[in-house]
A and B are shown apart, each in its own frame.
Chain A
């Protein structure tokens, strides 16, 4: 059973470009969470999704950030018009039920030049 997969593992963007981060949950998991981690800081919750639904986006910045988890395919975290402050590691986690353990992907390291 493959674990949570994220791609790309490293992404470099120039200011003003768009960044798309993908997350494929573990097989059988329908709950996906996105977190951001700045260097030397803790995980910050961004958004929680189930298939085709955003359940909780209380941690998501109001502008430039969006997330989706379509019926088919991976979950996507999209950052428009990136700025240097968006540089961070973005982790995705999945859970089978939303009431048990979360399992994390290897993360995408975004660098904004």
Chain B
């Protein structure tokens, strides 16, 4: 079983839509979580850090559910520029291990 699992998508949504991705992690000792976005043939860029129950930054909201071991990312009022692959990451402090999911692809269409 992978440490971090994501639905690969693609999620095809119209501009202005609200879309949510879930990510599950297998190790309950995971302590911090991150969402990165990766554009085609570019490096991953940090989108949000999730240290407690959740985080909000403009149109983006991340939530953490430790009981069910999942993290979600909600994007409101989708823009064409939101089209990218979204990577979920879990961090185990004790081992300084970062576990990356394989990513969820989002296509926002006009």
Contact = CB atoms under 8 A, between A and B. Distances in A.
Contacts of A55: 96
Interface string B70-110: 00000000000000000100010101111011110000000
The range of chain A's interface size is 20 to 34
Which residue, of B45, B91, B101, has the highest number of chain A Cβ atoms within 10 A?
B91
Given A42-B102, A104-B45, A106-B42, A56 B87 contact: no
Given A91-B43, A91-B44, A104-B45, A45 B100 contact: yes
A100 B32 contact: yes
A73 B34 CA distance: 29
Nearest to A99: B93
Contacts, number: 43
B46 interface: yes
A56 B92 CA distance: 13
A35 B38 CA distance: 14
A98 B96 contact: yes
A43 to B, nearest CB: 5
B63 interface: no
Contacts of B43: 91, 104-107
Interface string A34-60: 010000011101001000000110000
B46 A101 contact: yes
A89 B38 CA distance: 13
B102 A56 contact: no
A35, A48, A102 pick with most chain B CB within 10 angstroms: A102
Interface of A: 31, 33, 35, 41-43, 45, 48, 55-56, 89, 91, 98-107
